[in-house]
């Protein structure tokens, strides 16, 4: 029988990297046994996704759910990630680095080392979703001086990450923050009242399930702003102090509760999107629900210079 020609192995590394990026990293490493051509392809992957839930392709729901909260599953995950990075081609740059662990508590030093490795290798996008216990994460100094890092996405868990003061990332263009506390305070886990004023190149900002009462958003280059509250714990209206963004083009708001902002100075606004939906379950109250229509109308008036306004069906039902 005549052997068929192996055309895939003749493809250049960038295309093979795209192929390997579609499978989990453990399987990507296993391709090294296919042939000499594949032996080192995995070691120069530019996009690294260390995702706890997909590392071993856990298909049984009961095992998956147990693994999310069982501490004995974590050493295997951290050991694999450590070995992977140790044996990787250190001359190869990293474009995107994602780290997602379970909720039992990840060793903070492990996470910090992963961040340091990514920064040293010129990472452009860093995505962190980890709960560290008992010691919180401290961002390495290199994170704040990196010239390559343009996109940062971080999910905060209770007392899981120390917020440096001042928190300045001058080269960041896209910032996504989940479950952070923006109420001004001196504790280790809070931001200042006006946290983004020194983000000179910030163009896109997303705040998801963050405490923003009294917050001030300002940014000379900010073009897209999205705020969302999609958690049952948010049961009252959110009151910001001001949004002053001279170049903002798009404003999106999604949530169970209404947003109030005393001052909105957005002269170049083009698109507005609202997805406001009433949550009738406790601790939601009739008083809060009654405030939603007037709060929404007030904000729509503040954003009246927008060229396009989109209201979802849920939002229209709130107004009715």
Three-state SS string across 229-295, please?
ECCCCCCCCEEEEEEECCCCCEEEEEECCCEEEEEEECCCCCEEEEEECCCCCCCCCHHHHHHHHHH
Instruction: Read off the pTM.
Output: 0.88
pLDDT per residue of the chain (320 residues) written in tens, 0 to 9: 455 667 888 788 899 999 999 888 989 999 988 888 899 999 999 999 998 877 654 444 444 444 445 556 778 888 999 999 999 999 999 999 999 986 667 888 999 999 999 999 999 999 999 888 778 888 898 999 999 999 999 987 766 787 777 788 989 999 999 988 765 555 555 667 888 988 999 999 999 988 888 899 999 999 999 999 876 665 677 889 999 999 999 999 998 888 999 999 999 999 999 998 876 565 556 677 788 899 999 999 999 999 999 999 999 988 88
Location of structure tokens 């709960």? 131
pLDDT on residue 132: 81
Give the largest CA-CA distance in the chain: 78
Q: What is the distance between the alpha carbons of residues 241 and 212, in angstroms, rounded to a whole number?
A: 9
Q: What is the distance between the alpha carbons of residues 278 and 316, in angstroms, rounded to a whole number?
A: 11
pLDDT on residue 266: 97
Residues 34 and 44: beta-carbon distance below 8 Å: no
Element (DSSP H or E) covering residue 311: strand 308-311
pLDDT on residue 272: 98
pLDDT on residue 56: 56
Domain ranges across the chain: 46-319
Q: Which of 200, 36, 185, 50 has the alpha carbon at shortest distance from 111?
A: 50
Judged by DSSP in three states, 225 sits in strand
Q: What is the distance between the alpha carbons of residues 210 and 162, in angstroms, rounded to a whole number?
A: 16
Q: How far is CA 170 from the centre of its chain?
A: 18
Judged by DSSP in three states, 32 sits in helix
How many CB atoms sit inside 10 A of residue 70's CB? 12
How far CA 2 is from CA of 5, 7, 175, in Å, comes to 9, 15, 54
Sequence-separated (6 or more) residues with CB below 8 Å from residue 252 = 224, 225, 226, 227, 228, 272, 273, 274, 275
Residues 319 and 290: beta-carbon distance below 8 Å: no
Q: What is the distance between the alpha carbons of residues 109 and 121, in angstroms, rounded to a whole number?
A: 18
Sequence-separated (6 or more) residues with CB below 8 Å from residue 143 = 115, 119, 126, 149, 169
pLDDT on residue 3: 57
How far CA 49 is from CA of 27, 82, 87, 101, in Å, comes to 12, 13, 16, 11
pLDDT on residue 299: 95
Q: Token digits for 188?
A: 């280790």
Q: Token digits for 234?
A: 């948010």
């Amino acid at each position: 029988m005549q052997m068929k020609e192996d055309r895939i192995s003749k493809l250049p590394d960038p295309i093979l990297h795209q192929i390997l990026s579609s499978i989990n990293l453990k399987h990507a490493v296993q391709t090294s046994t296919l042939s000499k051509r594949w032996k080192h392809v995995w070691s120069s992957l530019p996009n690294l996704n260390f995702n706890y839930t997909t590392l071993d392709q856990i298909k049984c729901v009961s095992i998956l759910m147990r693994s999310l909260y069982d501490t004995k599953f974590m050493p295997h995950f951290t050991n694999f990630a450590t070995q992977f990075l140790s044996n990787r081609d250190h001359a190869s740059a990293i474009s995107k680095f994602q780290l997602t662990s379970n909720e039992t508590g990840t060793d903070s030093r492990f996470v910090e080392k992963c961040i340091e490795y990514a920064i040293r290798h010129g990472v452009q996008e860093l995505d962190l979703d980890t709960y560290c216990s008992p010691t919180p994460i401290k961002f390495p100094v290199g994170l704040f001086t990196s010239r390559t890092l343009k996109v940062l996405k971080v999910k905060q868990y209770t007392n899981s990450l120390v917020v440096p003061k001042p928190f300045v990332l001058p080269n960041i263009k896209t910032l996504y923050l989940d479950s952070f506390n923006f109420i001004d305070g001196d504790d280790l886990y809070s931001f200042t009242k006006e946290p983004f004023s020194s983000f000179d190149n910030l163009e896109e900002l997303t705040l998801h399930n963050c405490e923003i009462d009294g917050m001030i958003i300002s940014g000379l280059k900010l073009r897209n702003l999205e705020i969302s509250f999609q958690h049952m714990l948010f049961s009252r209206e959110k009151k910001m102090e001001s949004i002053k963004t001279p170049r903002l083009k798009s404003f999106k708001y999604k949530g169970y509760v209404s947003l109030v902002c005393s001052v909105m100075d957005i002269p170049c606004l083009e698109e507005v999107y609202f997805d406001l939906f009433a949550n009738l379950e406790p601790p939601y109250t009739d008083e809060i629900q009654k405030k939603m229509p007037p709060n929404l109308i007030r904000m729509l008036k503040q954003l009246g210079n927008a060229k396009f306004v989109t209201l979802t069906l849920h939002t229209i039902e709130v107004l009715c």
